[in-house]
Amino acid sequence: MTAPLTSPQPPAAGGTMIAIEAVSKWYGEVRVLSGCSTAVTRGEVVVVCGPSGSGKSTLLKCVNALEPFQEGQITVDGTRVRDKATNLPRLRARVGMVFQHFELFPHLSVLDNLTLAPRKVLGRSKAEATQRGLDLLARVGLSAHAHKHPGQLSGGQQQRVAIARALAMDPVVMLFDEPTSALDPEMVGEVLDVMVELARDGMTMMVVTHEMGFARKVADRVVFMDRGEIVEDVAKDAFFDRPRSERAQQFLSRILAH
């Protein structure tokens, strides 16, 4: 039996890992999120989808305070994001984030990309961080590339490194912001395979994606957004088989037709 991609995490109080309560956000006078509320329980995979400009990525980035919000509250594993006493760097260290573009350090080797934050932020020894990094590279199928630089890898390989780098911090939850949108179609599968395995290992995940095949295979729930609002927040099968809103029906008819 292969070792899981993740390390065991203590359960959040009440089983809720992320609580989003009536969150609203403005850019100047433009309201981009409007009273958004949902929750993600420990071990749950929630896919956030919707048309471009619907607020999906903005909501995701609010979870670890990469985007500030003006109203409402977000709590991650018992920590209130907007609380002035919250240590945001410490919070972000516990929330893995994978972006559309890989955000790897181009001047560092793949392995050094994985070990830098655990050493600097978590205080791990070089030996401990290196072993954990090598283990994670093996799990995402990139052991042979540990000493290469990111520019020597394909897009799909770089995104798998980005996932391994996030996991190297032993996060309690993983956030994915359209992780395959910048990839060539032939590279999408290798990244989604890693994400599927993460889900099977029990990692709590919020995933912004247009990959409806992934959502059907892995998601427990689907949150559908439009114009900054959460229009539907339902179990996966209900969303795909019986979408309630006309807007969700239109979205699915267009995206599943391709």
Question: What is the per-residue pLDDT across 184-241, written as a single tens digit (0 to 9) for each?
Answer: 888 899 999 999 999 999 999 999 998 998 999 999 999 999 999 999 999 999 999 9
In this prediction, residue 28 has a pLDDT band, given cuts at 50, 70 and 90, of very high
What integer is the mean pLDDT of 165-176?
95
Architecture of the structural domain at 17-100+172-254: 3-Layer(aba) Sandwich (3.40)
Q: Can you tell me the distance from the alpha carbon of 34 to that of 253, in angstroms, rounded to the nearest whole number?
A: 25
Q: Can you tell me the distance from the alpha carbon of 46 to that of 234, in angstroms, rounded to the nearest whole number?
A: 10
At residue 120, the 3 state secondary structure works out as helix
Matching residue, tokens 């959502």: 215
Q: Can you tell me the distance from the alpha carbon of 188 to that of 177, in angstroms, rounded to the nearest whole number?
A: 14
Q: Can you tell me the distance from the alpha carbon of 64 to that of 75, in angstroms, rounded to the nearest whole number?
A: 9
Domain ranges of the chain: 17-100+172-254
